[in-house]
Amino acid sequence: MRYSGFRVIAEALTGHKGWKPAWRDPAPQASYDYIIVGGGGHGLATAYYLAKEFKQARIAVLEKGWIGGGNVGRNTTIVRSNYLLDGNEPFYEFSMKLWEGLEQDFNYNAMVSQRGIINLFHTDAQRDAATRRGTAMIMHGADAELLNKDQVRAMYPFLNFENARFPIKGALMQRRGGTVRHDAVAWGYARGADSRGVDIIQNCEVLGMRIENGRVLGVDTSRGFIGAKKVGVAVAGSSSKVMAGAGMRLPMESHVLQAFVSEGLKPLIDGVITYGAGHFYVSQSDKGGLVFGGDIDGYNSYAQRGNLPVVEDVAEGGMSLMPMIGRARLLRMWGGIMDMSMDGSPIIDKTHIDGLYFNGGWCYGGFKATPASGFVFAHLLAKDIPHSTATAYRFDRFAKGLMIDEKGQGAQPNLH
Amino acid sequence: MIINHPLLGPRDSQEFVYLGDAALIHRPDGMAEGALDKFIDYTYLRDNPAGTHRELWYHEQGDRSWLVVTRNTVTHEITAVELARDVARTEGRSK
Amino acid sequence: MSRISGGQIDRSKTLRFSFDGVSYNGHPGDTLASALLANNVRLMGRSFKYHRPRGVISAGSEEPNAIVELRTGARQEPNTRATVIELFDGLSAQSQNRWPSLKFDAMAINDRLSPFFAAGFYYKTFMWPAAFWEKIYEPIIRRAAGLGSLSKQDDPDDYDKGFLHCDLLIIGAGPAGLSAALTAGRAGARVILADEDFCMGGRLNAETLEIGGVAGADWAAKTVLELAALPNVRLMTRTTVIGAFDHGIYGAVERVSDHLAQPLPGKPRQILWRIYTARAILAAGATERPIAFENNDRPGIMLAGALRAYANRWGVAVGEKVAVFTNNDDGLRTVSDLKAKGLDVTLIDARKGDEVIDSAGRLGLKSITVRRGNGQTETLQVSALGVSGGWNPNLNIASNHRGRPIWDDSIAAFLPAPESIAGLSCVGAAAGAMSTHAALTTGAEQAVAILADLGIKASADVPKAEDAPLNLSPAWYVHSGKGRAWVDQQNDVTVKDVKLAKQEGFVSVEHLKRYTTLGMATDQGKTGNVLGLAVMAELTGKTIPQTGTTIYRPPYTPVAMGALGGRARGHDFKPTRHAPSHKWATEQGAIFVEVGYWLRAQWLPRPGETTWRQSVDREVLQTRKSAGICDVTTLGKIDIQGTDAGLFLDRVYANTFGSLAVGKVRYGLMLREDGMVMDDGTTARMGQNEYVMTTTTANAVPVFRHLEYCRQVLWPDLDVQLISTTEAWAQYSVAGPNARKLLEKLVDQDISDAAFPYMACGNITVQGTRARLFRISFSGERAYEIAVPTRYGDAMIRALVEAGREFDAVVYGTEALGVMRVEKGHVAGNELNGQSSALNMGLGKMVSRKKDSIGMVLSQREGMTAPNGYRLVGVKPVNPSDALTAGAHFLAKGAEAVAANDGGWLTSVVYSPHLGHSIGLGYLKSGDNRKGERMRSVNLLAKTDVEVEIISPHFFDPEGERLRG
Amino acid sequence: MANPLKSLTPLGHDKPITEIIGAVTIIENVGTALASLASRRGREAEVAGAAQTAGIPLPGPGRSQAAATYSAIWLGPEQWMIEAPFATHEDISAILKPIFGEAASITEQTDAWVRFDLTAADLPALFERLCNYDLGRAGVGAATRTVIDHLGCYVVRRSDVEVSIIGPRSSAHSLHHALTTAAKSAF
Q: Tell me which chain A residue has its CA closest to the CA of residue B17.
A: A298
In a domain, D6, yes or no: no
Task: Specify the DSSP element, H or E, that contains C789.
Answer: strand C783-789
Same domain? A170 vs A28: no
The residue length of chain C stands at 965
Give yes or no for a cis peptide into C268 (omega within 30° of 0). Answer: no
Asked if the Cβ–Cβ distance from B89 to C718 is below 8 Å, we say no
For C692, list phi and psi in degrees, rounded to 5: -125, 115
- The reply to whether A265 and A368 lie within a common domain is no
Q: What is the mean pLDDT of chain A?
A: 97
Same fold, C159-286+393-453 and C577-633+728-812: no
Specify if D7 maps to a domain: no
- In this complex, the chains that touch A, judged by 3 or more CB pairs closer than 8 A, are B, C
Confidence band, pLDDT 50/70/90 cuts, at residue C490: very high
C866-964 topology per CATH: Elongation Factor Tu (Ef-tu); domain 3 (2.40.30)
Q: Is the pLDDT of residue D1 over 60?
A: no
User: Is residue D85 domain-shared with residue D135, that is, in the same domain?
Assistant: no
- The CATH code of the domain that includes D39 is 3.30.70.1520
For residue C274, the distance in angstroms to the closest alpha carbon of chain A comes to 8
Cα separation of C596 and C582, whole Å?
16
Considering CB atoms only, which of A330, A400, A401 is closest to C559?
Answer: A330
Adjacent-strand bridge partners of C733: C630, C785
Give residue limits of the domains in chain B.
2-90
- Judge whether A132 lies within some domain: yes
- Taking CA–CA distances from C598, the nearest residue in chain D reads D170
Tell me if D145 and B63 make a contact (CB, 8 A cut-off).
yes
What is the span of the domain harbouring residue D53? 32-111
Q: Check: CB of residue D151 under 8 Å from CB of residue D175.
A: yes
- Give the domain extent around A218: 22-81+83-108+182-250+343-415
Structurally, how many domains does chain D consist of? 2
The pLDDT tens digits of the residues spanning A303-322 come to 999 999 999 999 999 999 99
pLDDT tens-digit profile of C214-271?
999 999 999 999 999 999 999 999 999 999 999 999 999 999 999 999 999 999 999 9
Q: List helix spans (H) across A224-305.
A: 239-244
Asked whether A310 and A301 are in contact (CB, 8 A), the reply is no
- Asked which of A341, A367, A396 is the last residue of a domain, the reply is A341
Same domain assignment for residues D83 and D102: yes
> Which residues of B are less than 8 Å from C678 in CB distance?
none
Flag whether pLDDT at C508 surpasses 90: yes
Is position D74 within any domain? yes
pLDDT in tens, C346-395: 999 999 999 999 999 999 999 999 999 999 999 999 999 999 999 999 99
Cβ pair A380, A355 in contact under 8 A: no
Q: Are residues A260 and A333 in the same domain?
A: yes
CATH class of C636-724: alpha beta
pLDDT, position C894: 96
**Are both D78 and D123 inside the same structural domain?**
no
Average pLDDT over residues C122-130: 90
Q: Could you tell me if D98 and D132 lie in one domain? A: no
Q: Which of A341, A357, A381 is the last residue of a domain?
A: A341
Q: Give the percent of chain C with pLDDT over 70.
A: 100
- Chain A from 84 to 143: CB within 8 A of any C CB: 86, 89-90, 100-101, 103-104, 107-115, 122-123, 125, 127-136, 138-141
DSSP single-letter state for residue C940? T
Contacts of B18 in chain A (CB under 8 A): 298-299, 414
Residues in chain B: 95
CATH number at residue A381: 3.50.50.60
**Contact C674/A at CB under 8 A:** yes
* Residues A61, A188: Cα–Cα separation, whole Å: 14
Same domain, A145 and A193: no
Out of D93, D111, D129, a domain closes at: D111
Name the β-bridge partners of C771.
C764
ipTM score here?
Answer: 0.98
Q: What is the pLDDT of residue A295?
A: 94
Query: C794 CA to chain D: closest CA distance, Å?
Result: 7
Whether the Cβ atoms of residue A381 and residue A357 lie closer than 8 Å to each other = yes
Q: What are phi and psi of A17, to 5 degrees?
A: -75, -20
* D154 and D132 Cβ atoms separated by less than 8 Å: no
Assess whether D47 and D106 both reside in one domain.
yes
Q: Would the pTM of this model clear 0.90, i.e. be above it? A: yes
Domain shared by D70 and D104, yes or no: yes
Does D152 map to a domain?
A: yes
CA dist C272 to C158, C241, C254, C562, D95, Å?
Answer: 12, 10, 7, 9, 47
Shortest CA distance from C945: residue in chain A: A135
Q: What percent of chain A has pLDDT over 70?
A: 100
Contact of C261 with chain A, judged by CB distance below 8 Å, is answered with no
Cβ contact, residue pair C162, D129, below 8 Å: yes
Chain C residues 433-472 with CB within 8 Å of chain D:
none
What's the per-residue H, E or C state across A215-242? EEEEEEECCEEEEEEEEEECCCCCHHHH
Q: What is the band of D2 on the pLDDT scale with cuts at 50, 70, 90?
A: very low
One domain, residues A314 and A383: no
pLDDT digits (tens, 9 = 90+) for A129-171: 999 999 999 999 999 999 999 999 999 999 999 899 999 999 9
Residue A5 lies in a domain: no
How many domains is chain A partitioned into structurally? 2
pLDDT tens profile A77-112: 999 999 999 999 999 999 999 999 999 999 999 999
| pLDDT at residue C109 in the model | 93
Spatial CA neighbour of C603 closest among C911, C391, C347? C911
Indicate if the pLDDT at residue A332 is higher than 50: yes
| Minimal Cβ distance to A303: which of B40, B45, B76 | B76
Same domain, A99 and A143: no
Contact state of C558 with A329 under an 8 Å Cβ cutoff: yes
Whether residue D89 is found in the same domain as residue D56: yes
Q: Which CATH architecture has domain C159-286+393-453?
A: 3-Layer(bba) Sandwich (3.50)
CATH number for A315: 3.30.9.10
pLDDT tens for each residue of A207-246: 999 999 999 999 999 999 999 999 999 999 999 999 999 9
Q: Which fold has domain C15-109?
A: Ubiquitin-like (UB roll) (3.10.20)
Query: Check: CATH 3.30.2270.10 for B2-90?
Result: yes
Which residues of chain D lie closer than 8 angstroms to B7, CB-CB?
61-62, 77
Asked if the Cβ–Cβ distance from B2 to C248 is below 8 Å, we say yes
Q: Which residues contact A291 (CB under 8 A, 6 or more apart)?
A: A76, A77, A179, A259, A260, A261, A282, A283, A284, A285
User: Does the CA dihedral C561-C565-C566-C571 come out positive or negative?
Assistant: negative
Domain coordinates in residue numbering, chain C: 15-109, 159-286+393-453, 577-633+728-812, 636-724, 866-964
In this structure, which topology does domain C577-633+728-812 adopt according to CATH? Gyrase A; domain 2 (3.30.1360)
Cβ neighbours of A326 in C, within 8 Å: 154-155, 157, 159, 560-562, 565, 569
Tell me, what amino acid is at C572? D
Tally of CB atoms within 10 A around C806:
12
A253·B21 Cβ contact <8 A? yes
- The pLDDT of residue B90 is 98
- Show which of D86, D111, D136 is a domain's final residue: D111
Residues A298 and A285 in one domain: yes
